[in-house]
Structure 1
Amino acid sequence: MSLTLRVLAPDQSVFEGSAEEVILPSTTGQMGILPGHVTMLTALDTGVMRLREGSSWRSIALMGGFAEVEADEVTVLVNAAELGSAIDAAAAQAAYEAAQSTATAFEGQPSSPDKIKALQALAQARARLQATR
């Protein structure tokens, strides 16, 4: 028994296929989905979604959105997403280090639009880097 999984971004269909297990980065923590899961709708945080196909795992970097589970079908609607296998690990590491540097410059300062953007860029760079592993 498996799940039918669709990961959709505004500009592309990132993944369509089946999976035996899906782990989502919900806003309340990691959430595992197996066949027979109860119907639900959840908000997703920026992070890495993992899916198991047979005995292998795949990673997809998600940039926030929503997931719906209904009758062994999982639909993930996100602002942006990228398959971990399509991400250049060296470039992702460099982008993470740059984003970390920028975010560190705002430590101790009150919230500002620039600080919020820097923290969002850091979360996205971290998700892309983690998806390469």
Structure 2
Amino acid sequence: MLARKSIVDCQIGNYTIPEGSLLFVNIWSIGRDPKVWSNPMKLNPERFLKPNESDGPGINIDVKGFNYKLLPFGTGRRGCPGINLAMQELPTTLAAMIQCFNWMVVNPEGVEMKGNDLVDMSERPGLTAPRAHDLVCVPVARCSPVS
């Protein structure tokens, strides 16, 4: 949820928002809107590989929130101040993690899990949409230690 306060009277669609109203933006619902995202509940990271192409009918993917279809960092002047740093560091960090490690998925007891359904996207109640079952991965170094 993003909380905002209306500083002036405004009209949004058929609704009049009076000055001083406290507004809550449900970003959970925005990210799961089937009018915007094809198969919104399916894990499909590939939809973010081409940021200028649309996933749904005429919708551009924009992580900065200017089109209000995806708000991982919030939007406007109260958006996350670290978005630019995160967007620069993420490719390098992810590449290093992929290059240097193999990843082993384990259950809560630490036993390796195998199969096609390792990622369970079901959610439990909470403000941040937490996973019902955590995905626990253990890094395994690809290189032998230097002697």
Question: Considering the TM-score relative to the shorter chain, is it more than 0.5?
Answer: no
Q: Which has the higher strand share?
A: 1
| Rg larger for | 2
TM-score by length of structure 2 reads 0.27
TM, length-normalised to structure 1: 0.29
